Copies of this chain bind each other. A is one copy, B any other.
Amino acid sequence: MAAVKKAAVKKVASPVVKKAADPAVMKHVFFFGAGKAEAKGENLTKNVLGGKGLGLMEMTSIGIPVPAGFTISIQTCAEYYRLGCKLPKTLAGEVREALAKLEKATGKKLGDSKDPLLVSVRSGAARSMPGMLETILNLGLNDVSVEGLATKTGNPRFAYDSYRRFIQMFSTTAMGLSKDHMEDLLHTMKHDAGVMLDTELTAEQLKKLCDQFKAFYAKKKGEAFPQDPADQLWGAVMAVFNSWEAEKAVTYRRVEKITDLIGTAVNVVQMVFGNKGDGSGTGVCFTRDPNSGANEFYGDYLINAQGEDVVAGIRTPLKLETLKDQMPGVYDQLLAVRAILESYYHEMQDLEFTIEDGKLYMLQCRTGKRSPAASFTIAVDQATKALLSKAEANRLAKKGYLPKKWADVATSLVLTKEEAVARITSDDIERLFYPVIDTRRVSLQRLKDVRLGGGINAVPGAACGQVVFTAAEAESLAAKDIKAILVRKETSPEDVGGMHAAQGILTATGGKTSHAAVVARGWGKCCIVGCEALNINYEEKFMTLGGQRINQGDCITLDGSAGEVYNGELPLKDPELPASFATLMGWADKLRKIKVRTNADTPYDAENAIRMGAEGIGLCRTEHMFFDTEERRLAIQEMIVAETLESRKAALNKLLPFQKADFVGIFKAMDGKPVTIRLIDPPLHEFTPKDKVGIDKLSAITGLSADKIRHRCEQLHESNPMLGHRGCRLCITYPEILDMQVTAIIEAAVEVAAKGGKVLPEIMIPLAIDRKELKILTDQARGVADAIIKRAKSKVRYMVGTMIEIPRAALLANEIAEVAEFFSFGTNDLTQMTLGLSRDDAGRFLPVYVMTEKEGGKGIFKADPFQSLDQSGVGELVKLGIERGRSTRPNLKIGICGEHGGEAESVKFCVRAGMDYVSCSPYRVPIARLAAAHAALSGK
């Protein structure tokens, strides 16, 4: 069994594009049918056959009933593009051969006038790209064979409906004709017939519609609709290939970060029909519950229906359990298929099946999409419980449906704990924490009814509020505590205030790296971009979407995870964490070798982060405390405008008790875990009063004239504040700030320790640039700290270290490490300086650097360097910094506290680079824990 398991796990591992074989001798077409599959060995992969093709091929080869067919390889598609959109020469012969095998296996002939073979032609890339690539069904129908089908099935309506659908699909998909006109024809026909639904049209009416379609085709293309199935087949194959480079598909791949794919396969498969009467049916099912992850067979089916009927939702499907009564044999067979496929793939599968006259056909199997909670539950279950009980396995085996080999697997554990951890992604975690639409309180039907449209799911989570069309309006609603959704054609830096004030953001244009997406992601704020159907009338303050007019002030709901927009206010809920989350994270924690800390500025944040599994604070930004109350804001402002050292010290003394109280709270919350506290970092102008009211208040307190205060504030203006008077440069020019902050930290530590608490403060000096600069400040900090500790006769221990966020500091890390006990890489600023890229300004051109050429960009960067660490540039400096730092202080403690500390790829980089910990915002702590575990696994 172990061998089976191992092989299977290998198969589902992330696909690596293998070098294509020599095209001259390359096999392009692989037949499957009658229990045999042509693809073997290195050809039996997603990268040759695509996901769908592989599934069909594998299902065939392990004895599962699958309609016969053949797959044209992905390499053929790549070759097609290499040849300038021409098919390889040998392809025609290979297809002919495969077709012959197919006709033999099915006993039918394509275009036959009596009992025609019909096929579907479907795309299938190495990764699922739902709805992005083309599909053509019922291929093989023509004016002759449609009659054969009518006769054979005894259902002319079915035959002509199939034919009109085929003509419609082929004309628009393969030949590029307008969809609208054909829809209009259908609409007119229904109108003339006085019916509402397509299904109400008679065979005669459908036949007439076929004629209208064909006439339209002939008019537009200057030739008759192809009657030769071979012509139809080649047209369909080319249509699938062409859809690969269609704009929407290219965008999808970039957004989903699957740009390494080289093309799509084409699957030509015998059509089977679930709509041949009550012995037929069709269904979709999951080997486990995709919502809860429970070990229950889960699905829907319809009797006497085709696949599209299930999808179209016109008839309400039945729960899969009821099939047990309706067709007990088929149901048991399906149960066995479920067990075999999970045993084979070791993964929850999403299956499509059709029952044609009581015979079960599996049409597709693929790894099933699931809710975030289900991801965890399934992985944990697979590593702790068997799929089937022995009794159930025996029962199915006895019926001959479940071979012993698979029964053994289905009654065992299919994953190790390590494999379970490896299977979870950072997206699974991320999605677990965002608010969601409460589907217990809103029916799927209602959801469908109020859906307005969709866009690109830029930032997950759900949000609802009143629609506003300007940033100012969002801010003014927020000021009144009214929830707003900011709707814009696009956003620009001046909208940032309103974006922050809004609950969610919806834009008509832009992709996942547009300004709106990037900014919203920074805050974890629900955001949908690229909602192309959205139309905004700024002047009259309304929008239209999905044919509805929404006025300013009307409520809408965004589902950022799905990229869906709904009319009205839908109920939201905070997600509940499944028990499996804790179990799996526990396994991950045992695997990882790097610590995970959090960025937290308040006792509240700290407590929250502890719950998320944080093992310390990697970044406590002291200046955030200054904004907390007006009293604090005024005290820091007083410090800034002080004209003498004495008045500056007096103002700082007002701040001292606030800071100290905050640190006491944080130390208590962290209970002995290390707390890295960064001294004041931003330039002073960030604290100054911005309006007359603020200036007057400060004037009243300080006795300085308003003019003087205004002048001082103006003086603080900087051309490039990012590179200005900030960080430890403030403490170099105003040493008394450091004195106050270190006093607050150490007095708080001493106080907590005196009451028996554990404390481990790490004082972090930001923006260091030189050994001597840092020496001056660390000496000063130690002087202040040691005096307090000595006076209090305390045994508190502390460390003093620095942030490495300026390239020079990384380059001279050997010198810096002589005076710093720890390093924390501030990769936000390090990225800005290493790339010469201001995060606040890059919105104007960075998208062009990240978007591909097809998207109108230049594809210079693979990812936004502010989201995922630029490993070749910034990463090089990080590696140099670590190496050089440890060259003079081998036990140097090293971490990261930029945004990257919570991004999976960046965390893996940090592990490889030899850091001791990563630190990130509380809600990203689990992501970092998981990524660290993954890094440990891939290091094995």
Contacts and interface: CB of A to CB of B under 8 A. Distances in A.
Interface in A478-508: 492-494
B725 A773 contact: no
Interface in A694-722: 715, 718-722
Interface stretch (A137-145, A371-379, A832-840): A832-840
Contact of A721 (B769, B776, B806, B841): B841
A475 interface: no
Contact of A834 (B772, B833, B840, B842): B833
A848 B734 CA distance: 11
A539 to B, nearest CB: 15
A819 interface: no
A806 B829 contact: no
A770 interface: yes
A732 interface: yes
A723 interface: yes
16 contacts: A492-B715, A494-B715, A718-B838, A719-B722, A720-B722, A723-B833, A723-B836, A725-B845, A732-B848, A733-B844, A806-B836, A807-B833, A808-B834, A811-B873, A812-B876, A833-B836
A492 B715 CA distance: 9
A859 B772 contact: yes
Contact of A808 (B772, B858, B874): B874
A218 interface: no
Contact of A720 (B723, B770, B776, B873): B723
A604 interface: no
A849 interface: yes
A28 interface: no
A767 interface: yes
B877 A811 contact: yes
A793 to B, nearest CB: 32
A870 interface: yes
Instruction: Name the residue among A806, A812, A841 with the largest chain B CB count within 10 angstroms.
Output: A841
A811 B858 contact: no
Contact of A860 (B776, B806, B812): B776
A254 interface: no
Contact of A872 (B721, B733, B812, B872): B812
B812 A873 contact: yes
A861 interface: yes
Contacts of A722: 719-720, 722-723, 836, 838
Contacts of A841: 718-721, 723-725
A512 interface: no
Contacts of A835: 769, 806-808
A729 interface: yes
Contacts of A719: 493, 721-722, 838, 840-841
Contact of A840 (B493, B720, B844): B720
Contacts of A807: 807, 833-836, 873, 877
Interface residues of A, number: 52
Interface string A731-753: 01100000000000000000000
Interface string A2-29: 0000000000000000000000000000
Contacts of A492: 715
Instruction: Name the residue among A492, A767, A834 with the largest chain B CB count within 10 angstroms.
Output: A834
Number of identical protomers = 2
Interface string A796-835: 0000000001111001100000000000000001001111
Contacts of A733: 844-845, 848
A916 B829 CA distance: 33
Top 4 A-B pairs ranked by shortest CB distance?
A: A723-B838, A808-B873, A720-B838, A806-B836
Contacts of A840: 718-720
A769 to B, nearest CB: 6
Contacts of A772: 858-860
Interface in A84-135: none
A683 to B, nearest CB: 9
Interface in A764-803: 767, 769-770, 772-773, 776
A719 B718 CA distance: 9
A812 B836 CA distance: 14
Contact of A832 (B718, B723, B877): B723
A773 B860 contact: yes
Given A733-B848, A772-B859, A870 B808 contact: yes
A861 B724 contact: no
A845 B874 CA distance: 27
Given A769-B836, A808-B873, A858 B732 contact: yes
Given A838-B723, A840-B719, A844-B725, A811 B732 contact: no
Contacts of A829: 836
Contacts of A832: 720, 723
Contacts of A858: 732, 772-773, 776
Given A807-B807, A833-B833, 6 more contacts: A719-B841, A720-B721, A724-B844, A767-B836, A773-B849, A808-B873
A727 to B, nearest CB: 8
Interface string A862-884: 00000000101110110000000
Contacts of A837: 723, 769
Instruction: Name the residue among A724, A836, A837, A858 with the largest chain B CB count within 10 angstroms.
Output: A836
Contacts of A870: 808
Contacts of A493: 719
Contacts of A861: 770
A836 B494 CA distance: 26
Interface string A395-416: 0000000000000000000000
A873 B806 CA distance: 10
Nearest to A872: B812
A820 to B, nearest CB: 15
